[in-house]
Structures are given as structure tokens and as C-alpha cells.
Amino acid sequence: MRFCYVITFENASPEARISASDKSGIAALIAETPALRHAEIHTPAVATDIYTADGASPQLALQLYFDDLLELEAAISAKGHLQALAERAWPSLAGAKASQQAMYARHFEIAGTTTATEPRCSFLVHYPGPAEDFNIWFTHYVASHPPIMRRFPGIRQIEILSRVDWIDAMPFARAAHMQRNRVVFDSPEALTAALQSPVRHEMRQDYHRFPAFEGGSFHFPALTETILPASRR
């Protein structure tokens, strides 16, 4: 599950939510995607961080995982299965702006982690960039940040996504964030507890040690549910 296709739907109204029927329909469509390993569907949650308050979470975010970039690209080609995601009407997403990005996923093991609850709570973070030297920046990030993340109380999963070049025929805007990452907890309350813990101060101290970059960083809590492909149900 090395390649991740990220789709984000952002609505001008911070109160906008996807309907149960639209969410169910999108999940069913995604589950039928050829070569899909699994997917994550994210909807808005509320958690409190010591350092950041970046506004309302996206109305909907999707992460679809594939073993191979060519399999991902096939799904978003002109005749790809995921064209239906753009072609069908999803009434509760009317007016939302969709963006997409293909990325490479790195997952970091956490000792002693047990099976997480469902739904879970993710902290979705992205760095638009650019960095003065991305190789230096990303080398520092991967080496220094996950060891601190592992010390968050109640953490279940650590994922870091880096940009790749990709081919698609989707009608969505193409994002070019230099990096995204996601930490996962059992609930918004568990995420808040972690973001209020002493570890959060360590994270901030490391943030100030990052090599030079622009664009800042953006953080959004989200309820997360897993979509398994139809073939694995």
C-alpha cells in the first residue's frame, strides 16, 4: 500500500456535512475500484490543539491506497473507475471544491499498538511548501518527527505522504503539497488529550528546527472510517 490518492472536498460553509446517503454511495463506489488495497474516508471532527486552529475541517477527504502507481493512474484515467465519482451527483457536496493529489505513503510502526476502534480520529496535516531544499527538509522531517509522534499518548498510526508526479484525467484541481501526514487516535477526545500533552511541546520545538520552507502547515481533525474493497469483504 505504497501509493495514496488523496481527494479533498472543501465547502465555503464550515457547517457543511456530507449526507449519510451520499457517504454510503461514495463508499460503495470506492469499494469497487480495481486494485484498491483499502481506503479511508474522513469527515469533520472537533479537537483542540495547543498551537494551531486552522478553521473547519474539509467536508470530505478520501485516501485510496494502491500497491502500484500505474494501478492508481488506471483508476483515474479517462475510462477509469473513479470517473464515476466526478460524474455522479452527490447533492450534499454541491458547491464543494474538489482537489486531488497522488502521493507516496510511508507508515511508521508503533510498538504495542492494538486494533483501533472504528470510527477513529485522524489529525490531517499538510505542508504546501515549497522548501528551500526539499531533500534536506524531508530528510530532517522523517528522521526527527515520527520518533516524537510515537510518544503521543494513545497514538495508533503514523503516516507521512510525499509528493509524486502522476497522470490523470479527473476534472478535479491538482494539489501540489510537498508533504502530508496523518496521526490516528481512537476518538476526538483522545486526539485532544495528545495535543494537550507535553509531547505536543516537543513537536513544536522540532517544528522550529525544520530546514527553511514556505507555506506554513495546516491541521484538521477528522473522523476516519476504513473502506475495504469488495473483494476482501
Read off the pLDDT of residues 125-137 as tens digits, 9 standing for 90 and up.
999 999 999 999 9
Which pLDDT score is estimated for 231? 76
Q: Is the pLDDT of residue 111 over 90?
A: no
* pLDDT at position 192 over 90: yes
- Mind listing the pLDDT tens digit for each residue in 50-106? 999 999 999 999 999 999 999 999 999 999 999 999 999 999 999 999 999 999 999
Quick one: average pLDDT of 103-127?
Answer: 86
| CB contact at 8 A, 207 and 181 | no
Integer angstrom CA distances of residue 229 from 53, 79, 106: 35, 19, 21
- Amino acid 115: pLDDT: 61
pLDDT at 31 (0 to 100): 97
71 vs 110, more confident: 71
Q: Which residues pair with 123 in a beta bridge?
A: 183, 221
- Residue predicted with more confidence, 116 or 191: 191
Q: How far apart are CA 71 and CA 68, in angstroms?
A: 5
Domains and their CATH numbers in the chain: 3-232 (3.30.70.100)
Helix, strand, coil tally for the chain in percent (to 5): 25, 30, 40
Compute the average pLDDT of residues 113-128: 85
Handedness of CA 69, 72, 74, 76 (dihedral sign): negative
As a whole number, mean pLDDT of residues 213-231 equals: 95
